[in-house]
C-alpha cells in the first residue's frame, strides 16, 4: 500500500470524523471487496467482533455479521437488551468494558445520542457506531454515498432531495452530513414542518456553505433532483393521527411522481420501508434501495478490514 490506512485502529462515531479522502480510500477497498461478496477470505481470522445491539436492527446487524464472517472473523454479541445483564441493572460502561475484554472491535447500536462516543472512550479496542440517537449512523452514510458513487460515478455536482423525517431519522441526518464532505450542487430538505432538519444540521450546512433549501413537498423540486433519499415517517411522531395520515400521503413516492423527474433519477432508502414508497417503484429503474442495502456488506467488509489492519495485499487490493 502506498498511502497510509487512515482507518487503522480508529473509532467510527460520526461520518464527520472522516475526510473526503478517507471515504474515497474506503470506497476503493469496498470495490475490491465486491469481488468477495460471495466467498470467504480469511484476512480477519483470529479477530472477534462484538455486535452490541442495545436497540433492534436486522439489516445493519446482519450486514455487519455477514461482512465479519466473510472476512474470517468470529462474531459474538446480543441483538436486544432483554437477554443481557443490562436488564439486571448493569451500567452501559461495564457492559462495554466486558465486550472490550472479549472482542477486538465493538459495533454499538443504541437509542441514546452519544452512546457510541461514550463507548469509544471506555473501550481500548475500536468502536464502530451502528446508529445511536437521532443523528449518527456513519456506516449507513458510508454505504449510501458509496451507492451514489457507483450509480453516478460521482457524488459531486448532483442535486439531492432528502425526504421524510429529518428531525429524528439518524440515517437521513448522517447522509446530509456525509454530503457536506463532497460538493453537491444542491440539497433539498423535504419534510413536513414538524419533522424539519434539526437546527444544528441546518447550521452546519450554512457554515460549510453547502447550497440547500427547505421545502414542504417533493413535487416542487422533482424535475431538478438526481437522487432522492427517502426515510420512513413514524406515526408516533405525530400527536394527531389525522395529521399523520395527511402527511403520510403527501410524502409517498409513486411512479407517477418519479416519471416527472430526470431520466436517470434514483431513489435511495436506508430501509426498512413501510409504505412511503409505492411497491410498483420496487421493480422500476428508479429503485436503488435494494442495491444500496446489498452494498452494506462490501462497505462494512472494507471498513472492518481497514480498522483492524487486515493485509489487503493478500486479496489483491492495490491501494
CB of 166 to a second copy, least distance (A): 18
7, 12, 25, 77: residue in contact with a second copy (rule CB under 8 A): 77
Question: Which residue reads 457536506 in cell numbers?
Answer: 180
Q: Where are the alpha helices (DSSP H) in 115-262?
A: 115-122, 138-152, 170-179, 199-208, 241-250, 255-259
Options 2, 38, 153, 242; binder of a second copy; rule CB under 8 A? 38
| 133, 200 contact by CB (below 8 A) | no
Overall size of the chain counted in residues: 319
Cell 446508529, residue? Answer: 131
Query: What whole-number distance in Å separates Cα of residue 38 and Cα of residue 301?
Result: 12
Residue 16 or 86 with smaller CB distance to a second copy:
86
In Å, the largest CA–CA distance within the chain is 59
Q: Which parts of 46-75 interact with a second copy (CB under 8 A)?
A: 46, 48, 50, 53, 56-59, 62-63, 65-66, 69-70, 74
Q: What's the Cα-to-Cα distance from 94 to each of 51, 76, 119, rounded to whole Å?
A: 15, 17, 10
Nearest to 75 by CA among 63, 86, 87, 92: 63
Q: Does 8 bind a second copy (CB under 8 A)?
A: no
Binding-site size for a second copy (CB under 8 A) equals: 51
Q: Is 111 in the site for a second copy (CB under 8 A)?
A: no
According to the binding rule CB under 8 A, does residue 139 interact with a second copy? Answer: no
3-state secondary structure of 33: helix
The residue written with cell numbers 462497505 in the block is 299
Among 9, 211, 272, 313, binds a second copy (CB under 8 A): 272
- Segment 167 to 226, residues that bind a second copy, using CB under 8 A: none
Backbone angles phi, psi at 226, to 5 degrees: -100, -35
Instruction: Decide: is 87 part of the binding site for a second copy (CB under 8 A).
Output: yes
Q: Among 19, 80, 216, 284, which residue sits at the site for a second copy (rule: CB under 8 A)?
A: 80
Residues forming contacts to a second copy in the complex (CB under 8 A) are 38-40, 45-46, 48, 50, 53, 56-59, 62-63, 65-66, 69-70, 74, 76-80, 82-90, 94-95, 97-99, 101-104, 232, 271-274, 290, 293-294, 297
Amino acid at each position: 500500500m502506498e498511502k497510509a490506512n487512515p482507518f487503522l485502529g480508529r473509532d467510527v462515531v460520526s461520518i464527520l470524523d472522516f475526510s473526503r479522502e478517507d471515504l474515497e480510500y474506503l470506497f476503493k477497498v469496498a470495490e475490491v471487496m465486491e469481488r468477495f461478496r460471495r466467498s470467504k477470505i480469511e484476512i480477519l481470522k483470529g479477530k472477534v467482533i462484538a455486535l452490541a445491539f442495545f436497540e433492534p436492527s436486522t439489516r445493519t446487524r446482519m450486514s455487519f455479521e455477514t461482512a465479519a464472517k466473510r472476512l474470517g472473523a468470529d462474531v459474538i454479541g446480543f441483538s436486544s437488551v432483554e437477554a443481557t445483564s443490562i436488564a439486571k441493572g448493569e451500567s452501559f460502561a461495564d457492559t462495554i468494558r466486558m465486550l472490550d475484554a472479549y472482542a477486538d472491535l465493538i459495533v454499538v447500536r443504541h437509542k441514546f445520542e452519544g452512546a457510541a462516543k461514550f463507548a469509544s472512550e471506555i473501550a481500548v479496542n475500536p468502536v464502530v457506531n451502528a446508529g445511536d440517537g437521532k443523528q449518527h449512523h456513519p456506516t449507513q452514510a458510508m454505504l449510501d454515498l458509496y451507492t451514489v458513487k457507483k450509480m453516478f460515478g460521482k457524488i459531486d455536482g448532483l442535486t439531492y432531495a432528502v425526504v421524510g423525517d429529518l428531525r429524528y431519522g439518524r440515517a437521513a441526518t448522517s447522509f446530509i452530513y456525509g454530503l457536506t464532505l463532497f460538493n453537491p450542487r444542491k440539497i433539498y430538505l423535504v419534510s413536513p414542518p414538524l419533522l424539519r432538519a434539526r437546527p444544528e444540521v441546518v447550521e452546519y450546512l450554512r457554515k460549510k456553505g453547502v447550497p440547500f433549501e427547505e421545502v414542504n413537498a417533493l413535487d416542487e423540486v422533482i424535475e431538478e433532483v438526481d437522487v432522492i433519499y427517502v426515510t420512513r415517517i413514524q406515526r408516533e411522531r405525530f400527536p394527531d393521527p389525522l395529521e399523520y395520515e395527511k402527511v403520510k400521503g403527501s410524502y409517498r413516492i409513486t411512479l407517477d411522481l418519479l416519471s416527472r423527474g430526470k431520466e436517470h433519477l434514483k431513489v435511495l432508502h436506508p430501509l426498512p420501508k413501510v409504505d412511503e414508497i409505492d411497491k410498483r417503484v420496487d421493480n422500476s429503474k428508479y429503485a436503488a434501495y435494494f442495491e444500496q442495502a446489498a452494498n452494506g456488506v462490501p462497505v462494512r467488509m472494507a471498513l472492518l478490514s481497514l480498522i483492524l489492519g487486515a493485509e489487503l495485499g493478500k486479496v489483491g487490493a492495490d491501494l
